[in-house]
Homo-oligomer: A and B are copies of this chain.
Amino acid sequence: MSAVSFQGERGAYSEEAATMFFGRSVVTKPCRTVKEVFQSVEEKSAEYGIVPAENSLEGSINQTYDLLLETSLKICGEVKVRVRHCLLAIPGTNIEELRVVYSHPQALAQCASFLQKLGLETIPAYDTAGSAKMLIDKQLKAGAIASERAADIYGLKVLRKGIEDFPENFTRFFVLGRTDVSPTGKDRTSIVFATTHTPGSLHGALGELASRQINLTKIESRPIRGTPWEYNFFVDFEGHQNDSKVSEAINVLRNSTAMLKILGSYPRAD
């Protein structure tokens, strides 16, 4: 099969997500930004793309949601990856020698208690695996927070394993493709809509799902650019857009909201 793009350097959690979803033989293609992942699939230099949707501690990845609004791509799958952060350094470094630690701000935040106990200064970087790679490239006597897989790939030493403050740390990724996927009987649908400016309009919109016993699994609000204090609502619920009660709810919502877009229906990962 052709390539699956992901954001980050090799060894990133999103590359792990690609392997979990497509299997060990998948050909992966690193991208610098989430936007480049979207572009690579839109421009057909990749068949699918993997983008982070939400983390069970830190919440939604805003950039992904903002890009979903504009893209013509479909969400055609989801993957949940257990995040197990490790403190890495170049071989020969002891934990006592470390003064600073590099990683993505979210990874630094997730290991805040551990880092504070060691009195380490934190330096934000674009990427977990990227900060691991940087230690090797620059032969820096510093720490990086990344996955055990990143340590393997770059030949770094794992100084500590599982250093996150909360062990129930998962990231949910979306698999992006160019076509809709068929129902499996155990699906989820993601849509985005903007309500009209009348009191109770969000309540009314959610009522179209509730009254049809469609189970809402997530709601996320994002500001509408250019109109301060107004929001788009990204909603996930159980069922496939081809199911009769789902398609009925969507049709009603399309007429009662200011904007509605179906982001995709895809097999549930739970």
Which of A57-65, A132-140, A247-255 participates in binding chain B? A57-65
Chain B, residue nearest A63 (CB): B109
Kindly state the separation between the CA atoms of A221 and B62 in the bound complex, as whole angstroms: 13
Copies in the complex: 2
What is the number of residues of chain A that contact chain B, defined by CB distance less than 8 Å?
44
A186 at interface, CB cutoff 8 A? no
Q: Is the CB of B199 within 8 A of A210?
A: yes
Q: Is the CB of B206 within 8 A of A202?
A: yes
Main secondary structure of the interface of A (DSSP, over half): mixed
Q: Interface readout for A205-235 with B: 1 if CB under 8 Å, 0 if not?
A: 0110110011111111111011111010000
Q: Is the CB of B223 within 8 A of A221?
A: no
Kindly state the separation between the CA atoms of A223 and B226 in the bound complex, as whole angstroms: 27
A116 CB to nearest chain B CB (Å): 11
A154 at interface, CB cutoff 8 A? no
Chain B residues within 8 Å of A56, by CB: 223, 225, 228-229
A34 CB to nearest chain B CB (Å): 11
Kindly state the separation between the CA atoms of A166 and B125 in the bound complex, as whole angstroms: 25
Chain B residues within 8 Å of A270, by CB: 229
A→B interface (CB under 8 Å): 54-59, 62-63, 105, 109, 124-126, 166, 168, 170, 172, 199-200, 202-204, 206-207, 209-210, 213-223, 225-229, 231, 270
